[in-house]
Each structure stands twice: as structure tokens, then as C-alpha cells.
A and B are shown apart, each in its own frame.
Chain A
Amino acid sequence: MKNDLDRGFQHHFLMQVLLILLLLSASMLSIQSSAAATDMNSVAAFKAEGDPVNGEQLYERCIGCHSLDRNRTGPKHCGLFSRKAGTVEGYQYSKAMSESAIVWDEQSLDNFSQAPLSAVPGTTMGFSGIKDKQDRDDLIAYLKQTSLSEACRQQY
């Protein structure tokens, strides 16, 4: 009788341990899965969105030649997104830029701003480029936000 009770207790105890282990495993898997999903979301967000506030500060580097609302040494940036390269009225582009098939979006801006002279050989933008990916993302985020703003819409 005692042995039966002991075996029953042992069986019950083992079942409880197994259950706890199963729950812990499931919990750990869930946590890992959740963390992975969060990481993926962060990467996606990083790639899709830069920080426009930092981008505005970075834009100070551009204003030796560019402006949002005026053609200067470089063309104005208002209305930049979705614009075909080399088409701002009143600005005299290089032959290379005028004949390029570029339409400005995140990808083409990222490519051009990284190395303008390689992206469009013959461009007059004699600038080595922005090598830091995060800086490019931030600057592009600012340009997208600002160049499509209502104030900018009145300039193009």
C-alpha cells in the first residue's frame, strides 16, 4: 500500500516537473520569438525612416550650395521627391544629370548622396559623398518631410 502511494506520488511529481519544464520551454521560445520580431521591426523602421531632426542639422552641410526654395549653386530641394532628376525650371544642369534617368526617391537619393560622382559621372556636384548610412537616412528623412511640406509646395 505504501509503495503504491509512493509510486503515485512519484508519478504525480514527475508529471508536474514535466509540465513545468514544458511551460518554461514554451515561455522561453515565446520570449525569443518576440525579441526576434522586435529586432526585425527595428531594422525595418531603421531602413525606412531616418531621424529628420538630425537630418535638419546635417542639412547645414548642404547650404553652401543648396537651398530648399531657391536655385543656387545647386538646384532647390522643394519638391525633390518623385521629381525626375535634371528638371527644375531655371536651373542649368550638367549634361550628365539632364540625361540621367533618375527619379528621386529614398533609394536613388541614398545611392547618389553616398558618392555623387560615381552615381552620375559628369555631375557638377563635386562632392565626395556622405559615407555614413545613418546620416544619409536622417538627411533623406528630413528632405522627404520638408520638401513635400505645404510651405515647400508653394515653391514648385
Chain B
Amino acid sequence: MSSKNTTKQSSVALFKQSYTESRRRFLRQSGAATFSGAAIAMLSGFGSQTAYAGQSMEALEQDIRVLNTAIGAEHEAVAAYQLGAESGLLSPGVLNVAVQFQGHHKEHIDALSAAVTGLGGEPVAAKMDYQFPVEKLKAEADVLHFAAGLERGAVSAYAGAIPVFDNRDLSAAAASILADEAMHWAILRNALGLDAVPGAFFS
């Protein structure tokens, strides 16, 4: 077995261990767990068709489409962090952060999916495979740049989605997720030695 493969397997094992520890830590942190539960409750609780009483079916269907587009992007983010975690390129500290961020994206999927289900829709599933620019990922910084680009794009995607929800509660939930994506982006930029918050406004 080559040393490269050994390193990769060690990294995967570390990823799994780190992920388990991350989940345990997450569950120990009652505040975070409460927030997570509240976020899902917020999205699933109001997410009933009664919120659209007097509205056209098109308003309901559009909200479901927008939610599903967000879920699709979140699935891709989870897969991207998995790719980074399994790349063997991340140092333990960075790997831990990547796993934490991946966990956030999984929570976004849970919350958004609960909303879609509550509205009578069907949440989109993850794709069988994703096309990532693996040929460009040769060092830890490449992975960080790649992840930072996705997070920056996610900020814009949610900023563009917030105004189009017919249901204002969905807009509020999307804003909550946007804040999380923005923090991811800032942390990744900081890790790259870039200005963590390069401006006052983003769209």
C-alpha cells in the first residue's frame, strides 16, 4: 500500500473520529441542540398549507421550488465537504472545522426538508454523484478556496431567495441559514489569510 493511500485512509479515519466527536460535542451543547430543534420546529411548524390560505396554489408551489433548490445546493455542499475531508489534504484542525461546517449543512437540509414536507411537497434527494474540480485540489489551500467559493455563492443564493418567498417565515428561516453560510465563508477566508470580512454589504 502506498504511503499516499495510507495517509488518505488515516485521514478518513480521522474524519470519522472527528465527525463522531463533533456530533457528541454538538449534542452536549444544549444551547446548540435547542437552537437546532427550534430551527426545525420553526420550519416544519408553520410549514403547512394553511399559511397560504387565500393565496394561489402557484405561491405555495413556488415556495416549494425555491426550498428544493436550496436543499439541492445544501446536498452539494455536504458532498463537497466530504470530498475535502477525504482528500487527505486537510490538517487535523482544518478537518475538524470542515466536519463541523458539513454538519451545519446537514442540519439545513433537515430543516428545509421538514418545511417542504410540511407544505405537502417532496424534498429533493442528494444526487448519486457530483462533479467537483478534483484536478485542481492539490493542497489544503485549494480545498479551502473551493469551499470558500461555495460558501460565498451560498450567501448570494440565500440573499436572492429571501425576497421571493411568499411566506415571510420562510424568508426569516433562509436569513438564519444565510448568516451561518456567511460565518463559514469568513472563517474559511481567515484560514486562507484573507480579509475575513472584505466588505460591508454582500448580495
A residues bordering B, Cβ < 8 Å? 60-65, 70-73, 94, 117, 121-129
Q: Which residues of B contact A60 (CB under 8 A)?
A: 149, 152-153, 156
Q: Which residues of B contact A62 (CB under 8 A)?
A: 153, 156
Q: Which of B69, B70, B154 has the most CB of A within 10 A?
A: B69
Given A61-B153, A64-B73, A65-B73, also A94-B160 (CB < 8 A): no
**Nearest opposing residue in chain A for B161, CB measure:** A126
Q: Which of A63, A70, A123, A126 has the most CB of B within 10 A?
A: A126
Q: How far is the CA of A13 from the CA of B131 in the complex (A)?
A: 85
Give the secondary structure class of B's interface.
helix
Given A62-B153, A126-B161, also A71-B76 (CB < 8 A): no
Give the secondary structure class of A's interface.
loop
Given A65-B73, A73-B72, also A127-B161 (CB < 8 A): yes
Given A71-B131, A129-B160, also A124-B68 (CB < 8 A): yes
Q: How far is the CB of B113 from chain A (nearest CB, A)?
A: 15
Other contacts beyond A126-B69, A127-B161: 20, CB < 8 A: A61-B152, A64-B73, A64-B150, A64-B155, A65-B153, A71-B131, A72-B73, A73-B73, A117-B62, A121-B58, A123-B65, A124-B69, A126-B161, A126-B164, A127-B157, A128-B160, A128-B161, A128-B162, A128-B163, A128-B164
A-B contact count (CB 8 A): 67
Q: What 5 pairs between A and B have smallest CB-CB spacing?
A: A64-B153, A126-B66, A61-B156, A127-B160, A64-B157
Q: How far is the CB of B97 from chain A (nearest CB, A)?
A: 20
Q: How far is the CA of A43 from the CA of B58 in the complex (A)?
A: 40
Q: Which of A63, A73, A128 has the most CB of B within 10 A?
A: A73
Q: How far is the CB of A46 from chain B (nearest CB, A)?
A: 22
Q: Which residues of B contact A64 (CB under 8 A)?
A: 73, 150, 152-157
Chain B interface residue count, Cβ-Cβ cutoff 8 angstroms = 29
Q: How far is the CB of B102 from chain A (nearest CB, A)?
A: 16
Q: Which residues of B contact A73 (CB under 8 A)?
A: 69, 72-73, 76
Given A71-B131, A72-B131, A117-B164, also A126-B70 (CB < 8 A): yes
* Residue B203 is within 8 A (CB to CB) of chain A in the complex: yes
Instruction: List 6 interface pairs A-B (beta carbons < 8 Å), by A numbering.
Output: A64-B73, A64-B152, A72-B130, A73-B76, A125-B69, A128-B163
Q: How far is the CA of A64 from the CA of B155 in the complex (A)?
A: 8
Q: Does the CB pair A65–B163 fall under 8 Å?
A: no
Partner of A63, one of B62, B68, B149: B149
